[in-house]
Each structure stands twice: as C-alpha cells, then as structure tokens.
Amino acid sequence: MSVLDILPKSVRGRYRQSAFCKASSAKSLARSIKRLDLCAAQIAHLLHLSGISSVEGKVCLEVGSGWVLSHAVIFYLLGAKKVIATDILPWAYPPALKVAIQNAVSYIVRDVLSPFAAHHEIRARLDRLLSIPEFSFELLREMGIEYVAPVNWAKKPLETCVDLVYSLSVLEEVLADELGNLLGNLEQGLNEGGVMVHAVHIDDKGSVGLQRDDWFEVFNEVNNLDWRILYQWQRGENRPEIRKAGVSNQERGVSHMGILCTKK
C-alpha cells in the first residue's frame, strides 16, 4: 500500500489530476506498459483475432485512453483517417509519447503491424514520430488524433460516426448499471459495417464484481448488437475470494476476455 492509498478519495482525485502526477505517472507508464512496441502488439493481436485486415481510411475511437495516448498513435501508424482518444477524465499527458516511442524497439512496431498496413508506410509514419521533439494536443490534432475528455459515453451518444471502437481494460471500471447505456451509445455511433473490440480484464485491481456469464448478459441485453468471444483466458486455479453464489468453476476461472461486437 502506498501513501496515496491512505489519503481520502477526494484528495487522491485532486492529486491524480495535478500536473506533477500526470507527468510522473505518464512517463513511468510510457517506459513500461505504454511503450509503443507493446501497444502495437496488443492491437495487432486483437485485430488478428477479430479478422480485421485494415483500418486504413477508417475513423477509430478509443474508450479510456489513459495518461499516454500510445494506442491512439498505433491507429495513426496503421493509416486511420481519424483517431478519437477519449476518457472520462482528462488524464492524458502528450509529452510522455516521446518516452513511449523512444523506449520502443522500432522494428518490432513495424513488423507486428505490417500484416495490417503497408510496411513502408508504417516506417514513414514512425520516422515522423521519431523526429518530433515534443508532443502536444495541437500537434496530435494535426496528425488526425483528437483528444476528447472529460466525456462519459454512458451519459451521451457519440458525436461522430466511427468505424472501430476499441477499449483495453476499461469496461470493468464502468459502473455495472451504466454498462448497457455505454455499449448502446457506442453501438449507435457505429457506421454500417463498423465493429467494437473490447478487452475485458476481469481480474483488474482484484475486482470480484461481474464474472464471465454476467458479462454475457450485459452484451446480450444491448439492442442491435451481435457479439462473440475472441478469447477467454483461465486463471489456472480458482481465486478463493470469489464466492458468488451460482458461479460455476468454469465461469469463476476466467480472468480475461476479448469481445468482438457488430451491429445486427
């Protein structure tokens, strides 16, 4: 437990919105899980499982982009027409992108993304990123990456029609009674033929809330939405703290899921 954990929730919230916290947290993430090569591998994995061959010329929206906009930058590298990075609070710190890019292995970024876009075009875009001395929201907009925060898509519909909605370890943070509205509003904003790809990390932060079959019910209740499982990873052994009545061993064992959604 850190000192931050024992502070009142309101104090923690103000600290996390401070310039110091944004800069330090974003740069730490940019050296680790938000490195560009790692984020490229995550998106390539989901695109492969989803059967999506390209996002060239598409409008892509990320739900819950966090402190470092690395995943949004990956869609730029893949040739998206526009990328809309969104979050419920204005966490993003653009200068950390330089750290995420410099700490990545460039050839891995190019190689893992090359099945979904021309290799030489990925190289040219990546070279442009490497040449940028400092990132800002204004520069990102010039590149076609728009940052929208604060925004809660459970409370309002999308303002722009999109071709792809993406989230990674975000839906499990949404209040259970808002999930249906969130998914419904996202579905309504999809263009014809558009898709949503959600990576749900059930075990994130030790959550003992919705389990696998609960998520199935959530997706089933959204009108005009078809969905299928892309993957479901097992814990290996049951977590003893999960004691929900009626939960089968199989359901209890699932820690991560990937879900592909399309309009009916």
pLDDT at 202 over 90: no
- Identify whether 15 is part of a domain: no
**What's the predicted TM-score (pTM) here?**
0.88
pLDDT at 72 over 90: yes
List pLDDT tens digits, range 145-165: 999 999 999 999 999 999 999
Average pLDDT of the chain is: 89
Q: What is the pLDDT of residue 208?
A: 47
List pLDDT tens digits, range 74-132: 999 999 999 999 999 999 999 999 999 999 999 999 999 999 999 999 999 999 999 99
Q: What is the pLDDT of residue 157?
A: 95
- Identify whether 257 is part of a domain: yes
- Identify whether 11 is part of a domain: no
- Identify whether 161 is part of a domain: yes
- Identify whether 5 is part of a domain: no
For residue 164, give the CATH number of its domain: 3.40.50.150
- Identify whether 12 is part of a domain: no
Count the neighbouring beta carbons within 10 Å of the beta carbon of residue 206. 7
Of 30 and 7, the structure prediction assigns the larger pLDDT to 30
Q: Give the start-end residues of each E strand in the chain.
A: 59-63, 82-86, 145-148, 162-168, 190-201, 225-234, 254-263
pLDDT at 197 over 90: yes
- Identify whether 76 is part of a domain: yes
List pLDDT tens digits, range 210-262: 888 899 999 999 999 999 999 999 876 655 445 454 555 555 678 899 999 99
Domain assignment of residue 256, given as a range:
22-263
- DSSP 8-state secondary structure symbol assigned to residue 246: T
Highest-confidence segment of 195-199, 203-207, 211-215: 195-199
- Identify whether 245 is part of a domain: yes
In whole angstroms, give the CA distance from residue 200 to residue 258: 6
Torsion angle, CA of 240/206/204/26, rounded to 10 degrees? -150
pLDDT at 32 over 90: yes
Task: Please give the average per-residue pLDDT across 53-73, as a whole number.
Answer: 98
Number of domains in the chain: 1
In whole angstroms, give the CA distance from residue 264 to residue 261: 9
For 51-113, the DSSP string reads T----TT-EEEEE---SS-HHHHHHHHTT-SEEEEE-SS----TTHHHHHHHTS-HHHHHHHH
